[in-house]
Amino acid sequence: MKTPFTKKRLFTTAATASVLLLAIAGCTTAESTPTETTTPATEATNATGTTTFAASNGDCDAMAATLRDVETANPELDDPELSAVCDGDSLVISSNSIPDYLYIATTPGSPQISELTMTIPVDPTEADEPSSVPLLGALGVAVNGVPIYGPTEGTGGDVQSLEGALSECGSHSGPTDFHLHWFGFADGVDCLYDADEVATGESLVIGWAADGYPIMSGVVCSDDSCSEVVQLTSSWQLTDESQFATDTWAAHSYVEGSGDLDECNGRVDSDGQYRYYSTTTFPYLVGCYYGEVADGALTGNNAANPGGGMPGMEG
């Protein structure tokens, strides 16, 4: 039997100025040349994070409950629509791609309805080899129904290579849809999460990737008592700055062990569950698919087939 599940969006009180300590690079306008951000002095490599995670696989009801009961924040736009339905061993997420937070124009045009459906396994299967995420098009869906894209812009360059192209929330309106490129937040700005929520290091789910694994905030507690909050770091390094604005995949190289996360920008957590995490540098959210992606996992105007990302990977 198919059963819909949704969850009301949580709002918090006004953010304090201290959260700006952890504001990610995407919250500022990008320069035409890259600016690699510095990470907190605290070592995050061995951080276990909190023992309770906001998103896990294996329970369709719980997975579906991470999706929000969206409400309009933009009277001039169409109302956002989002549903999550459990269908056997799959979770079916359907969205019209309209944001539920305040839209700030950074590109021509305004968000239009773009239907997207993503069907993911309740119990994902680790792939024999990671596969590429799309160069352009959705690779997943955020908890508010906004499509999640990779690190590439239409130019082939990095999303941070176009000055002012993205809002402080890491999103903008493109030719086919409104979408999210990185996990952005700022004091006093209405985004996917408020800045004070992020700064607590509490486990926060950004969305779900097409292989079925969750995408989480990379601002995490360093230990179970949350004595410190740290930003997890990517293991992709900028090795050819000259290609940053034209071919961001060629501009970056995966250097195993140089950061906290693997080449897909994820890790196996203390509970044995694999999760992707947001980072302030390339690839920002998902670097490759850790799990198997079914044919037709993503359908709709902004859907894209796997492939076309990491050099040397099969798509």
Segments making up each domain of the chain, as ranges: 43-301
Task: State the 10-residue block means of pLDDT for the chain, 315 residues long.
Answer: 36 32 34 42 40 92 97 94 98 96 84 95 98 94 96 92 87 85 92 95 97 98 92 98 97 98 97 97 98 95 60 48
Residues 6+ apart with CB under 8 A from 215: 140, 148, 205, 206, 207, 208, 209, 275, 276, 277, 278, 285, 286
Question: Rounded to an integer, what distance in angstroms lies between the CA atom of residue 28 and that of residue 111?
Answer: 21
Q: What is the DSSP letter of 120?
A: E
Measured in whole angstroms, the distance separating CA 285 from the mean position of its chain's CA atoms is: 4
Q: What is the DSSP letter of 138?
A: B
Q: Which of 253, 69, 278 is nearest to 181 (CA)?
A: 278
One DSSP character per residue, 32-67 reads SS--PPPPPSS--TT----SS-S--SS-HHHHHTTS
Q: b/e map of 169-206 (b: 16 or more CB within 10 Å)?
A: bbbbbbebbbbbbbbbbbbebbbbbbbbbbbebbbbbb
Give pLDDT, residue 100: 94
181 closest CA partner among 192, 194, 197: 192
Residue 311: what pLDDT? 53
pLDDT at 165: 84
Task: Give the DSSP letter string of 256-296.
Answer: TTSSSS-TTSEEE-TTS-EEEE--SSTTTT-SSEEE---TT
At residue 131, the 3 state secondary structure works out as: strand
Reference 99, options 174, 19, 15, 23; nearest CA is 174
Q: Do the beta carbons of residue 218 and residue 143 sit within 8 Å?
A: no
* Nearest of 285, 272, 257 to residue 45 by alpha carbon: 257
* The pLDDT of residue 52: 86
| Residue 104 neighbours by CB distance under 10 Å | 16
Q: Tell me the β-bridge partners of 215.
A: 207, 276
Is the backbone peptide bond immediately before 214 cis, with ω within 30 degrees of 0? no
pLDDT of residue 164: 81
Q: Nearest CA to 24 among 174, 188, 190, 233?
A: 233
Contact partners, residue 187, CB within 8 Å, separation at least 6: 15, 16, 17, 19, 20, 23, 195, 196
Q: Per DSSP, what are the bridge partners of residue 291?
A: 126
Neighbours of 300 (CB within 10 A): 20
Buried b (16+ CB within 10 A) or exposed e, 114-132: bebbbbbbbebeebeebbb
Enumerate residues 6+ apart whose C-beta is below 8 A from 189.
Answer: 168, 169, 195
Residue 19: per-residue pLDDT = 32
